[in-house]
Each structure stands twice: as structure tokens, then as C-alpha cells.
Structure 1
Amino acid sequence: MRRATGQAIGGVAPVGHPQTLPAVVDATLADYPRLWAAAGTPHTVFPTSVDELLRLTGGLLLPVGP
């Protein structure tokens, strides 16, 4: 994981990777007005929203779970 993202497992942020990576944003996250995403270390997070995650990552909003 660190080779692809430059970040440690447990703190991989959705942005800031050395190269563009494909992203999927779980559609159920749209149920929450504020999300907390990892920010590059296992001990840091940042507030965001589904719309912002989609904009920042260029990801797809898809159902992930059953």
C-alpha cells in the first residue's frame, strides 16, 4: 500500500498519492452530511462530504456492500 500511496496502512488518505489511483466512494456514505477521512497517518483525519470526495478523487459513487 505504501508504495502506491506513499502513506501507511491505517491512514491512507483519498488524495495526495504519487500517482492517480482509481477511487470508489461507497454510495451509503451519502446518508451522512459529514464524513471523516484518513489524512495520511493512522492518527489524522479531515472532515469532508461525499460530494467533496467525488470532486477531489474523481471517484465513482457505487454501492460497496450488500
Structure 2
Amino acid sequence: MGGASIKRASPDFVKRVTGQVIGGDAPAGHPEPLKTIIDLALRDYDPLWVAAGTADSLVSLSYNELLALTSGTELNVR
């Protein structure tokens, strides 16, 4: 990513950009496309459980499904 730093989004930012509350923000279905970073460490987990648009809903995906769904960029975040 060219040496740029990554930081956690604030709840206000998440709500404004996705229309969803933090903790329920799904990886897709946003009003506008988002640049998404997928941590390579997530490859070690199967399935992945991700929020599905509300604070009390989840969906399971494989790493490759998450990558395809988000058009994400893989990055070693650690």
C-alpha cells in the first residue's frame, strides 16, 4: 500500500460511509464501493464469520469468497 498506515475506522465514519452501525457493518452492499484490505492472516480460518448488516446477524464465508465479494486487496497487516 505504498507505506501508508492502516487504522480502525471510527463508529461515525462507518455509519456515514456504509449506512450500517459498527459491529454490524457487512463487507459488501455499501452505497459506494469501498477500498477493502483483507488481512492475509484470515486465510488460516475457515469459515470466516462476518457481520451481515445488523449488529445481531452473521454470515459465514471462506477467505476466497470474502476476497471476491469485496474485491479486496490482500495485505499482511501485522
Q: What TM-score comes out, normalization by structure 2 length?
A: 0.78
Aligned residue among 67, 74, 78 for 1:54: 67
Residue from 21, 26, 29 that aligns with 1:13: 26
Higher relative contact order (CA 8 A, sep 6+): 1
| Displaced runs of 4 or more, over 2 A | none
Q: Which TM-score applies when normalising by structure 1?
A: 0.91
Match of 2:52 among 23, 39, 45: 39
Structure 1 unpaired stretches of 5+: none
SS of the residue corresponding to residue 15 of structure 1 reads: coil
Structure 2 spans left out of the alignment, 5+ residues? 1-13
Q: Identical aligned pairs, as a percentage?
A: 49
Q: How many residues align?
A: 65
Q: Report SS of the residue matched to 1:36.
A: strand
User: Deviations 1:9-65 (Å, cap 9, x if unpaired)?
Assistant: 111110010000000111011011210001111111100011001101100111112
SS at match of 2:25: coil
